[in-house]
Amino acid sequence: MSVGVTSRRAKLRTETTVPTEPIWRLTVEQYHEMITDGILTDDDPVELLEGWLVLKMPKHPPHPVVTRLTQKALDRIVPLGWDVRVQDPITTDTSEPEPDVSVARGDTRDYVDHHPGPKDVALAIEVAESSLARDRGLKKRIYARARIPVYWIINLIDRRVEVYSKPTGPAAKPDYRRCQFFGHDDEVPVIIDGGAVGVLKMRDLLP
């Protein structure tokens, strides 16, 4: 066997060892059972998206910085009766995404025995660099289908915030009807339960 053939086969084995797309088909109930039984733990970098257990995207150093800055900024303006959450699950009918930041109705202690559902969530935010394609595609489709009212992508590549609103809900191709872009010198309005509660300055969110 030639060295070239050996090299190509070795490369193929390396490329196919770790899947980068859906790796297992599960219902939300099965997913919860695996967590309860200890089969999946907090150390497993996976989430359930449209019935597929998929690997989370890698995070470069700016990602956790922006996530934390966004949480702090929201904590200052979100009114009583709403909880700012970081990388916590939202349970839908076929998915359990874990947005980088979300705003859910109620108090932290309200979710001791369950995760927020779509009707509890006013805002979902993904911080995107390596995950940008997934956040604009699969994640946006999941949030739109679940009727999450407002979805932000903090786009670290283009250094802007993409704000999606007016979800279509369960449709042939779930999506948001409205998209707005906010650049470095802009202020992003924060809409909670249909009303503006304040603005976040873009320069305060980006590193």
DSSP 88-135: -----SS-B---SEEEEES-GGGGSSS---GGGEEEEEEEESTTHHHI
Question: Which of 26-40, 73-87, 116-130, 153-167 has the weakest average pLDDT?
Answer: 26-40
Between 168 and 21, where is the model more confident?
Answer: 168
Is the dihedral angle over the CA atoms 104, 105, 110, 113 positive or is it negative? negative
Tell me what pLDDT residue 7 has: 40
The 10 Å Cβ neighbour count of residue 154 is 26
Query: What pLDDT digit, counting tens, does each position of 87-145 carry?
Result: 999 999 999 999 999 999 999 999 999 999 999 999 999 999 999 999 999 999 999 99
Q: Report d(CA 67, CA 207) in Å as an integer.
A: 10
Task: Quote the pLDDT of residue 132.
Answer: 95
Question: Does 21 score more than 60 pLDDT?
Answer: no
Q: Tokens at residue 143, please?
A: 């949030």
Strands 195-201 vs 150-155: parallel, antiparallel or unpaired: unpaired
Are 127 and 139 in contact by the 8 Å Cβ rule? The answer is no
pLDDT for res 12: 34
Mean per-residue pLDDT for 1-10? 38
Q: Are 146 and 152 in contact (CB under 8 A)?
A: no
- Per-residue model confidence as pLDDT tens digits over 155-199: 999 999 999 999 999 999 999 999 999 999 999 999 999 999 999
Strand partners, 152: 125, 163
User: Residue 161 and residue 156: Cα distance in Å, rounded?
Assistant: 9
Range of lowest pLDDT (34-43, 106-115, 143-152, 194-203): 34-43
Task: Check: CB of residue 167 under 8 Å from CB of residue 174.
Answer: yes
Strand (E) or helix (H) holding 54: strand 52-55
Q: What is the pTM of this model?
A: 0.83
pLDDT band at 8 (very low <50, low <70, confident <90, very high): very low
Residue 17 carries which DSSP code? H
CA distance 106 to 82: 5
Looking at residue 1, its pLDDT comes to 40
121 touches 104 (CB < 8 A): yes
pLDDT at 18: 45
